[in-house]
């Protein structure tokens, strides 16, 4: 075969006239030097710019938080000034279990005035992250009329390798001023600072997942997109897609739950650092005159059996003491939902979320909001 036809083929759109000026050797070398210098400067500039942007805006650094906070602001702006927007700060259990839109509609209906609720449930969070989130929310000017804070027993357990949250959270999600706060609650200081430094030295690499999650979400696997805040509904509820579970998927979910939680819950002991973070969160809210309540989210009966009797006793004693010391009511919702309405023993299916939301709204949110000045219609 003649190998030349492709070479002879002219691509009209790509055809450019040949360079007419023959550059001297000296010019070519100078151009090379300038190109390398410009490349170095451009790289430096791009890194500095992104690092500064990341340090000044959580939109890049912590999209999971920033997206939820934006939604909360939108909801608050859409309501009349002074309209109540109670908020539920928690983990993925809250994320899946509290249908804040449904709750808000019920609140508006009963109170006969505009009201909403917001679900600030973030997966793999815990008291330390909640402490940071609350500080950020207060700095942004949010003042919910009631703040519900979930206490996830596993996240306040004393574990040999530090808080449970440390497994999922790294320093790249925080601005520098927050690192010491996190370290004070037992998060590994050097690891936090190392990750944060990476985002300063090479932000295009260290922040690639949140950045790409924003620019081209489809280019990344779902767990690397950092888009939980965007995939939830406008009120922050993360609805589980299945309505009911097949026996196979339930068996798989149960197996995963048992693997993840049996050891932690069977020998539960309170973590001093996590308890400290929780107390500080409550104190912070109270300093800003925000009423707070602690919530124990629903658990399936077989999940509740993962606690040994001694561990259950210890946890109950600990949470009651905390509630008493901090003057916060404790809402024990562990038995509110029947077993078949859980996806894996502790995350609620949509039916379970509706049940839980209705009861929480009727028994906790409405009485509290009605008691506020101007609360009753």
Site membership for another protein, residue 15 (CB under 8 A)? yes
**DSSP string of 183-206?**
HHTT--HHHHHHHHHHHHHSHHHH
Among 86, 89, 113, 205, binds another protein (CB under 8 A): 205
Q: Single out the residue of 28, 48, 244, 371 in contact with another protein (rule: CB under 8 A).
A: 28
Site for another protein (CB under 8 A): which residue of 24, 30, 261, 292?
A: 30
CA distances from 226 to 74, 87, 92, 200, 202 (A): 20, 22, 14, 19, 19
Shortest distance, position 166 Cβ to another protein, whole Å: 18
Q: Does 53 bind another protein (CB under 8 A)?
A: no
CA-based nearest residue to 188, from 207, 206, 160, 161? 161
Of positions 180, 204, 266, 340, contacts another protein by CB under 8 A: 204
Q: Which stretch binds another protein (CB under 8 A): 26-34, 52-60, 137-145, 242-250?
A: 26-34
Cα gap 67→82, rounded to integer Å: 23
- Asked whether position 31 contacts another protein by CB under 8 A, the answer is yes
CB count within 10 Å of CB 41 equals: 10
Q: Return the residue matching tokens 């330390």.
A: 128
Strands of the chain, DSSP E: 87-90, 118-121, 147-150, 292-296, 330-332
- C-alpha 20/C-alpha 29 separation (Å) is 18
> Does 330 participate in binding another protein (rule CB under 8 A)?
no
Q: Which is nearer to another protein, 123 or 284 (CB)?
A: 123
Choosing from 2, 190, 248, 287, the residue that interacts with another protein (CB under 8 A) is 2
> Is the distance from CB of 362 to CB of 140 less than 8 angstroms?
no
Beta carbon nearer to another protein, 197 or 314: 197
Q: CA 112, 100, 350 angle in degrees (round to 5)?
A: 125
C-beta of 136 vs 195, nearer to another protein: 195
Q: Does 202 bind another protein (CB under 8 A)?
A: yes
Binding of residue 49 to another protein (CB under 8 A): no
- Mark the segment that binds another protein (CB under 8 A) among 31-39, 114-122, 259-267, 269-277: 31-39
Q: Contact with another protein (CB under 8 A): which of 115, 211, 278, 285? A: 211
Q: Which residue carries 């039916």 as its tokens? A: 351
The minimum distance between CB 176 and another protein, in angstroms, equals 18
Place of tokens 């009349």: 80
Give ∠ CA 88-363-295 in degrees, rounded to 5. Answer: 40
Stretch that binds another protein, among 118-126, 195-203, 296-304, 336-344 (CB under 8 A): 195-203
Rounded Cα gap, residues 42 and 348, in angstroms: 50
Find all residues with CB under 8 Å of 302, minimum gap 6, and list them. Answer: 254, 339, 345
Q: Which of 363, 206, 181 is nearest to 284 (CA)?
A: 181
Compose the 212-251 pattern: x for residues touching another protein by CB under 8 A, - for all others.
Answer: x---x-xxxxx-x---------------------------
Candidate segments 38-46, 127-135, 344-352, 358-366, binder of another protein by CB under 8 A: 38-46
Under the rule (CB under 8 A), what is the footprint of another protein? 1-3, 5-7, 9-11, 14-19, 23, 28-43, 45-46, 198, 201-202, 204-206, 208-209, 211-212, 216, 218-222, 224
């Amino acid at each position: 075969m003649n190998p030349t036809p492709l070479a002879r083929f002219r691509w009209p759109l790509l055809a450019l006239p040949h360079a007419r000026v023959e550059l001297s050797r000296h010019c070519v070398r100078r151009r090379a030097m300038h190109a390398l210098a410009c490349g170095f400067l451009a790289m430096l500039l791009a890194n500095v710019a992104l690092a500064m942007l990341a340090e000044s805006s959580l939109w890049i650094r912590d999209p999971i938080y920033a997206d939820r906070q934006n939604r909360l602001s939108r909801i608050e702006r859409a309501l009349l000034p002074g309209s109540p927007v109670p908020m539920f700060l928690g983990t993925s259990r809250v994320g899946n279990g509290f249908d804040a839109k449904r709750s808000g509609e019920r609140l508006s209906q009963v109170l006969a005035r505009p009201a909403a609720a917001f679900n600030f449930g973030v997966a793999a969070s815990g008291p330390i992250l909640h402490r940071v989130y609350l500080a950020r929310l207060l700095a942004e000017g949010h003042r919910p009329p009631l703040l519900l804070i979930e206490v996830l027993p596993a996240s306040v357990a004393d574990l040999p390798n530090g808080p449970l949250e440390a497994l999922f959270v790294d320093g790249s999600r925080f601005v520098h001023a927050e690192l010491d706060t996190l370290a004070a609650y037992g998060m590994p200081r050097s690891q936090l600072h190392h990750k944060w430094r990476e985002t300063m030295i090479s932000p295009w690499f260290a922040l690639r997942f949140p950045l790409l999650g924003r620019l081209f979400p489809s280019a990344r696997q779902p767990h690397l997109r950092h888009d939980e805040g965007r995939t939830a509904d406008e009120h922050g509820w993360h609805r589980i897609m299945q309505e009911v579970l097949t026996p196979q998927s339930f068996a798989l979910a149960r197996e995963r739950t048992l693997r993840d939680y049996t050891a932690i819950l069977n020998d539960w002991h309170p973590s001093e650092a996590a308890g400290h973070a929780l107390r500080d969160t409550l104190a912070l809210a109270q300093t800003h005159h925000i009423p707070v309540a602690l919530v124990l989210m629903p658990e399936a009966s077989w999940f509740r059996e993962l606690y040994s009797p001694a561990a259950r006793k210890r946890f109950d004693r600990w949470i009651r003491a905390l509630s008493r010391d901090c003057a916060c009511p404790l809402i024990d919702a562990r038995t509110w939902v029947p077993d078949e309405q859980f996806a894996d023993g502790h995350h609620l299916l949509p039916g379970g979320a509706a049940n839980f939301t209705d009861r929480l709204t009727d028994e906790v949110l409405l009485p509290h909001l009605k008691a506020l000045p101007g609360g009753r219609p």
